[in-house]
Amino acid sequence: MHQSNYGREGFSHITVAGALAHGMKEVEVWLQTFGPGKKTPIHRHSCEEVFVVLKGKGTLLLGSSSFKHPGQPQEIPVFQNSTFTIPVNDPHQVWNSDEHEDLQVLVIISRPPIKIFIYDDWSMPHTAAKLKFPYYWDEDCLSAPKDEL
């Protein structure tokens, strides 16, 4: 798939191998780059997710799914060549906390296409998080036949 920032300045996404674009059934692979200071939204999903940091360093902010809302997130440093996994349904945010370098990650998710629930902040109740489906980069592929889930 082509590269785009999907309206987010300092961000780049490429679907390397996708369900809607390439007929993948079990996993999907993305290549994403975050400019200095850039973040994903706070979000959760019920699929598994693995990150491999190809370039740069940053911070993974990880909330909890055990209480009514995500709560004060843990701050987990991530750096080049490290790999991290996101527990299913835990709200999280990837943040390029470096001021100079890009953060580039390879992202592998299970059970595409992804259903992302977005939070305004860490105190928003889980039940109030908003579903964005299909997600922005999957909207590009809507004309492709959809897999039954």
Pick out the residues of the known binding site for Zn(2+): 43, 45, 49, 92
- Give the shortest CB-109-to-ligand NAG separation in angstroms: 23
CA 108 to mean position of chain CA atoms: 9
Site for ligand NAG in 87-116 (CB under 6 A): none
105: closest CA among 86, 130, 128, 132? 86
Q: Pick one of 81, 99, 100, 149: the residue that binds ligand NAG (CB under 6 A).
A: 81
DSSP string, 59-95: EEEE--SSSSS--SPEEEEEETT-EEEE-TT--EEEE
Q: Quick one: which segment of 5-13, 75-83, 96-104, 136-144 binds ligand NAG (CB under 6 A)?
A: 75-83
Q: Pick one of 80, 83, 85, 123: the residue that binds ligand NAG (CB under 6 A).
A: 80
